[in-house]
Structure 1
Amino acid sequence: MVGKAYTKMSLIERSALTFESFLHRDFGNRFYQPEFLDGISARRMEVTSRIGKSAGQAFLLATILAFFDLISGSSFTYGGLTLQITKDLTPIISLLTAGALLNTTFAFIDDQILFRILLKIGNHIKIQNFQLLLVDKMAHNLWGDAVVPRVFGYKSGRGQTIAVRLLSFVVLVISAAMYLYPGFMIARVFLDLISSDGRWIAKAIASLALMVTIWALLLGAIFMVKFKFYPADWHESTDQPTEEFIRRMQSEIAKGDGSASETR
């Protein structure tokens, strides 16, 4: 691979290119039929609901861990059963927090893949904002689309560009802090239990929670990194060789025939 031309892109962008290759096939019109558009709109709204639900759970459970000392020692009654809140519950809450964080990561990646697919569907028919055509089926993050600087029609000025950059920085910092907040609380519970003489089962659950958290953070990081992708020898949506591969093979065959002639 050394010296070969490559393109750097994220795994989400690469997944969208796979879908784009299907748009160029004979069955590409399928993706513009009402059944498909209704389906992908419904799937994205489901994913959006998953993000909100799981992110809310992760944030709430992490906050409970942060202020657990305030409720430790109290009790509550549910269905005639009285439960005592003790330190032994912290690894269980920690594991639930890790599970919610992982589910949030899965859902967010799915949402971004669906978003890229919608962009490819629109770009294929020269529509820059395909999501607005689906507003009757999927009203999702319209405020975000409204603040994005425009290039077509009435072009945005420098003021909006600067404002969006500032907003993007603030959103990025706050989102990162909110995403890492559950992970920090899970790590704190793990360190507290490992350094104490608590029961081994509590330490095991805390260790599992930490591993799930690392899984979620690592998965999110992998999908943010841009990897190198090199030209392949076969078209992605068919079993046919690329034009470049055919030319290379023809050149190698011609060189082989020339060498054979000189030998004779």
Structure 2
Amino acid sequence: MPRTPRLGRRAVKTLLVASFLAIALLALALNTVLAGGGDAGGPFDGRAMPTLYPDSVLPVVSRLTAPAERRADAAAHKWLASHPVRDDVAFANYAVGAVGRPPGGDAQQRELAQLHRIDSSRTAAGAATANWLELHGKKDVWKLFLKQYRESVPNAAGDQAKTTFKATYALAKTVVDAAKNKYARPSPYITDPSLHALTQSRFTKKYSYPSKHAVISFAEATYLTRLEPHRGSEYEWMADEISYSRLYAGGHYPSDISAGVFLGRMIADYEAGVQ
């Protein structure tokens, strides 16, 4: 029998984007209200998804992912081995301590130089993508993915997925707020006013460590991947896109993203292992 030709990575990514857009636009046309939402304006408040960033720029994020996730898995395993029963407050304190302090000195200067290089190649289209992902990358995108999953499984499984999704999101917000207050790292555009951040006029006293977008994205991407392993690369790609947008906007250092990957993965591990 003739062998079926295999699609390359670029073709697969193109199909994923096309299918995601088609579902989103269909939901918008039908005035679908996402789970947990109360608006009738569609999944993205009527704002169409823009063209996302090319794969060629995403290694800025993806090369941070594996080391951070290995650390997170080890830290979560250590916690769960001695704390098998849910205690969100105690776990949040542990996670905030485990992520550690952000780098300073020469390491921070190297990160600022990297952000300036990204800044120098910024375009109007790229800025629009960053703004869209800032608005919708923390929750709306992941709610749409969850909705797709719930439509493909029995009601009981879908309801359980929604409950865990919401618990993961809530814990991520708690951990992020505690970590930002503990480490109080000024956003890069505050440390270096010559960095032309997209958000600096709106957020003049904002802490950046860790990135909330990254924490939530990698927490939910990990959770959804465990529900649907065959879509794992799609979820990881979207988490990379969202996290890269934070660097592109000039609002976060790469180490803010790395810390977000660590905490997001750790939160998902906790939700998967706790009783």
Give the TM-score of the pair, scaled to structure 1. Answer: 0.26
Structure possessing the higher radius of gyration over alpha carbons:
1
Q: Which has the higher contact order (CA 8 A, sep 6+)?
A: 1
Structure (1/2) with the larger strand percentage: 1
Q: TM-score, normalised by structure 2?
A: 0.25
